[in-house]
Structure 1
Amino acid sequence: AYHVDDILTMYNGKTVEVKNTDAEGRLILADALTYAQEKGATRLIDLATLTGACVTALGTVRTGMIGNDQEWMNRFFSAATEVHEKIWQLPADEEYEKLLESDVADLKNVGGSEAGAITAGLFLKQFVHDGTPWIHLDIAGPAFNEKADETGLIGATGVGIKSILHLLQGGVASHDR
């Protein structure tokens, strides 16, 4: 168990000031990103039902995307478009990153009440090595259908998987893997 104002040391050694105990998923995902890179991953895509803020911003129609490499995001966006998955790129301006600054640790686990989907993604970015292309997909909105969609699907949608597979299988968007 942990409490507000605790300071955690992450797998990569960075310290995180806990400002919201309900933002635990990003802590685990941050360590997973570090571990994947330690094991040799040279490009990263993570998917998570990370924030209600993304549902508020984009509803259940689109997945929010944030990343550190525009070319990698463009390729993913093209792959998603080809397989009819709807993605929306979130901004990653420096001003949003400043919301994660802490006086007592390397960063806070939340950026406050504003821009929650963006700051959650930018929190994860802090655990990606410079030069490693990375995409975060906040799938909280389209991850689950409460009622049947146009194909009759109810329940878990697997959103993002078709796009990743298309990219891996050499779709036109994945030309120089």
Structure 2
Amino acid sequence: MVVTRELADELPAEAVDVAKARAATLLLAFRHGNQLAFDRELERLLADQAEQEVTTLLVWIAAEAVRKAYAPEVGDRVLRGLARLAPVDTSGVAVDEELVDVAELVEAVDAGDVGTVRSLVASTPDTTFLVGGLLQAVAMMLPFLPDGELGEITAELRHRHGCRSIPRQA
């Protein structure tokens, strides 16, 4: 039997769990390229610039480790499990599909409410579900477009973003 004892300056076990959950939240935001959520969570945790740089490097290393060790869907499950370890009052970022409100995002875009759009994007580091829900919403709206409108929209998008049409293979 191994006996451990807490050192005077050591974090209590529950504080370690909270730190692990926050690190997982940072890693999830980093993994999904959500810079707003990553920056917001990092600013909440740290004030010193040197610590931010070290934390960013450690998150990058951890992201590489998760990418190499797990299949993408397994890695995400591991990270979500870690993020859920924090008590409810310390885990402020939604990571589950059920918590993503795509309808609110669509309404905010329609209203031109940039602040709400930014807030919704920043509050979910796992943007996979948010983007997937938005794609589903667009797909549901497509049948209601007048004939020819979809072609005009896609042509405008290609023009704006410099994309060229790629022929489909039959």
TM-score range, shorter chain: under 0.3
- Greater helix share, 1 or 2? 2
Q: Structure 2 length normalisation: TM-score?
A: 0.27
Q: Which has the higher contact order (CA 8 A, sep 6+)?
A: 1
- Greater strand share, 1 or 2? 1
